[in-house]
Amino acid sequence: MQPKNLASIFRGLYVRVASQLGVDPSYVSRVARGERRSKVVEAALERETHQIIKKLRLNHNGSNPKNADRHGSGRKGANRRNTKSSRSS
């Protein structure tokens, strides 16, 4: 993903969170910068950020992240297949 696309994804973050919570985007921005405190806004920012990261992983891997193993191969058990056991027979 190119930086300009990444910027546009994050650009709407404060507006989306503000819309969800019925607050002003500038307040969300202040909470994000640490100038104000709000557990509700912080939780919404975290939730939205995780959604963005999930979408970025989906676009990066070209597959559904639920189907990928923890190394990102996209195949369940990919590291266990076709490998010799470390135990001797």
d(CA 89, CA 80): 18
Note the pTM of the prediction, 2 decimals. Answer: 0.58
Collapsing DSSP to helix, strand or coil, 18 comes out as: helix
- Taking only the tens of pLDDT, the chain with its 89 residues reads 566 677 777 778 999 999 999 999 999 999 999 999 999 999 999 999 999 888 888 776 655 545 444 445 444 554 545 555 545 54
Phi-psi region of 75 (alpha: psi -120 to 50; beta: other; left: phi over 0): beta
